[in-house]
Amino acid sequence: MPIVNRITAIEFHNRYPSRPAAIFLLIVGVAFIVGIFFFFGLPPVLHDLNLFSAELPKRIPAVVAKLNKLPIANKLGVDAIAQRAETALTATAGYLVSALPNWLTHLFDILSAIFLCIYFMLEGEHAYRFFLSLFPRTQRLRLNSTLKRADQKMSKWLLGQGLLMFCLGLSSTIVFGFLHVRYFILLGFLMGLFNIIPIAGGVFTILLAAGVAALDSWTKMFGVLAFYLLYVNIENAYLTPRIMRSSVNLMGLTILVSLLLGTALAGIVGALVAVPTAALISVLLDEYAVKKD
């Protein structure tokens, strides 16, 4: 709705677009961006993912041989660790290859969510006023103020988190490509995607990227780790304070649990609405449940 409201405020030949026209323009714009992603962005990611899952079992022995040359290799149990890592990474890569087409089969669920969004944009104000009318008049102003505040914070959180994911994904792809890391498009895509999970998502993807870089050389691995260390400091010191300054401050555990619950209850659509729903609940709890005396 913030985007729709901004479109309706644009003057064109002394006229302003109506709300249906603004919604239509928004849908066309989103469809255009999604189409570009599926046509140009997704094929190289899937290509790298297939190559990664096929070549991983062949590349791990070379890394094990390098690790065995270290003086502390016997104490660390490199062979056992490598065997477990190979099993886990192969299973993860195989799951991603098989799961992505299954996600695409939920097209009907995604379209249903899109149509629900359209109807809420068209008639959401009427439904909202009806919802408020169910409460006593003395409580409506407080509830309305709380929900408006939650709406603003959810919108800012979504925009801010999307920008942070885009920044990490784009910078990772560029740097990994410059370092000639294998499957750099796939790794950059995963870096941006998993950045929605605080700390754990970044740690998982950077370890994966460092492991892939180590298949070629230690120099590439140290380059990947140095990049991520530099990026984390820039993000914490510069990007996050400015982008997420007025967002809902959700704990990392809250975001992770909400994503797991949303995925378990409603699949990919549930995952899309999980974090905004958690943000809404946090604002309601802060207003009505937290004792501030």
Across 23-27, 162-166, 234-238, least confident range: 234-238
Higher pLDDT, 284 or 199: 284
User: pLDDT band for position 81 (50/70/90)?
Assistant: low
Indicate if the pLDDT at residue 120 is higher than 80.
yes
Q: What is the pLDDT of residue 171?
A: 92
Indicate the average pLDDT of the chain: 77
Over residues 188-246, the pLDDT tens digits come to 888 888 887 766 777 888 888 888 887 778 888 899 999 999 988 888 778 776 766 55
C-alpha distances out from residue 66 to 53, 104, 132, 218, 222, Å: 21, 40, 66, 9, 15
Q: Please tell me the least confidently modeled range out of 47-61, 77-91, 125-139, 274-288.
A: 77-91
pLDDT band at 174 (very low <50, low <70, confident <90, very high): very high
pLDDT 10s digits, 241-274: 676 655 556 676 777 788 888 878 877 667 778 8
pTM exceeds 0.85, yes or no: no
pLDDT band, residue 101 (cuts 50/70/90): low
Question: Which of 50, 62, 68 shows the shortest CA–CA distance to 216?
Answer: 62
pLDDT of 86 higher than 60: no
Of 203, 208, 211, give the one whose Cα is nearest residue 229. Answer: 203
Overall residue count recorded for the chain in this entry = 293
Closest CA to 188 of 85, 88, 49, 30: 49
Q: Tokens 């990049």 — which residue? A: 227
Contacts 24+ apart (CB under 8 A), 171-174: 171/227, 171/231, 172/209, 172/227, 172/231
CB burial string 127-146: b at 16+ within 10 A, e below: eeeeeeeeeeeeeeeebeeb
Alpha-carbon torsion angle 232, 237, 239, 242, nearest 10: 160
Q: Which residues contact 133 (CB under 8 A, 6 or more apart)?
A: 140
Would the pLDDT of 74 be above 60? no
234 in Cβ contact with 140 (< 8 Å): no
Residue 31 pLDDT grade (very low, low, confident, very high; cuts 50, 70, 90):
confident
pLDDT interval class at 97 (50, 70, 90): low
Tokens of 152: 């603003």
Q: What is the pLDDT of residues 36-62, one digit of tens each?
A: 877 777 777 777 767 766 666 666 666
